[in-house]
Homo-oligomer: A and B are copies of this chain.
Amino acid sequence: MFFASDNWAGAHPKIAESLTREASGYAAAYGSSDLDKRIEARFNELFEREVAVFFVGTGTAANSLALASVARAGGVTFCHFDAHVNADEGGAPEFLTGACRLYPVEGENGKIDAEALHGHVSRFDVPSVHQGRPMAVTLTQATESGTIYSLEEIAEVCAIAKSKNLPVHMDGARFANALVALDATPAEMTWKRGVDILSFGGTKNGCWCAEAIIFFDPAMAEEMPYIRKRSAQLFSKTRFVSAQFEAYLEDGLWLELAGHANAMADRLRSTLKTGNRARLAWETQSNEVFAVFDKALAEEAKAKGAEFYDWLVPRDMPHLVSENEVLVRLVTSFATTDEDVDRFLDICTGA
C-alpha cells in the first residue's frame, strides 16, 4: 500500500524496454543523435507547433532553468505560496536564476488567485530599481495541493501576465494527470491559453528520469544551451532520456498511465469523503488526495503496511485538523493497484 509519492514507483515496463532497446550501438552525444531529433519532432506534433525542447535531469532543474531563461537583474517571479518552486526545491530556483526572487501569492486550493496576482504585480507598475521588476509568473498544473486549474483559470492568469508583459511558465511535473483530468489537448492547456514555457515531467508518471523544458516560442530559448550547460544539466548520453520519452509518448502510454493514477485517486476520494475516521481535507482532481485522519487511524494504517506522509497543514487553513487528527497526503501512480486501494480503504473504513 504505497501512497507516499508517485516517485516511489519505478519505471513502467515499456520505458525499461525502450531503454534496453536503445542501449546498444553508437549515437552522437549531447542531444544531437537521430533519436534525440526524432523526439524533438515528436514534441512538435504533440503541441501542434514548433517548439524548442531541452532535456534536464530533475523537475527542479526544469523549473529553475525555465525561470533562468527569463531572468534579469532584480527579477521577481510570482508563484503560489505552496508552489513547488517556493516550497520544495531547496532554493534551486533562486540559485540557478542568479538570485532572482520568488514572490508568493495567495489563493485557495493551491491555485494563484487571479485578482490577488493582479494586485501584487500592479505594485510594480511604476518602474523602480529599489523594488526590482517582475520577470515571470509561474503556475503549477496539477498543483501541489492536488487541484487543477481549469482552462479558463489558466487563461485568466496568463491574461494578467500578458497585460504586464510577463512570460508565463507552467510547472508540469504532473502535466499528464492534469491533462487527463481536464480531457484537454496539450496545446489547449498551454500556449493556446497563454503559457510560454513548460516543464514537461515524465518522471512522476512512469519514467526513470525524464524531464523536458518546452519553449513554445523557440526564439525565447536562445540562451538556454549555455544556461543548461552552466547548470550542469546537459547529459552526455541524451538518448537515455529520449528513449524514455519515446516509449512514454507512444500510443498514448503517458495518458493511459496518468488516467490510471487519477482513477485510483478517485477511488480513494469517493470512499474517504464519507468515512468517519478519515475525511477529505479538500477536494482534489489529480492523483493526489489530502485527508484528515484520526491519529489512531494513521498509526494503524502505517502499522498495517501503508506508506504515506503526514503533511504540513496549509498556512491558510490553520483550523483544518483538531488535536487528535493529522493531515495526510496520499499519492497514487501508474503502479498503484486496485488491490492496494482496496486494502487501504478497508483499513480506513474499518471494514
Contact = CB atoms under 8 A, between A and B. Distances in A.
A67 to B, nearest CB: 11
Contacts of A341: none
Q: Which of A9, A12, A104 has the most CB of B within 10 A?
A: A9
B8 A22 contact: no
A97 B94 CA distance: 11
Given A132-B90, A226-B129, A26 B8 contact: yes
B10 A129 contact: no
Nearest to A12: B23
A10 B204 CA distance: 24
A151 interface: no
Given A91-B100, A233-B232, A225 B129 contact: yes
Interface residues of A, number: 86
Interface in A180-229: 203-204, 208-209, 223, 225-229
Contacts of A92: 229-232
B26 A20 contact: no
Interface in A44-76: 56-61, 64-65, 68, 72-76
Copy total for this chain: 4
Given A5-B29, A235-B209, A236-B203, A229 B90 contact: yes
B26 A335 contact: yes
A102 interface: yes
A147 to B, nearest CB: 20
Q: Which of A57, A91, A98, A133 has the most CB of B within 10 A?
A: A91
Interface of A: 2, 4-5, 7-13, 15-17, 19-20, 22-30, 56-61, 64-65, 68, 72-76, 87-92, 94-102, 104, 119-120, 123, 129-133, 203-204, 208-209, 223, 225-237, 239-240, 307, 312, 315, 335
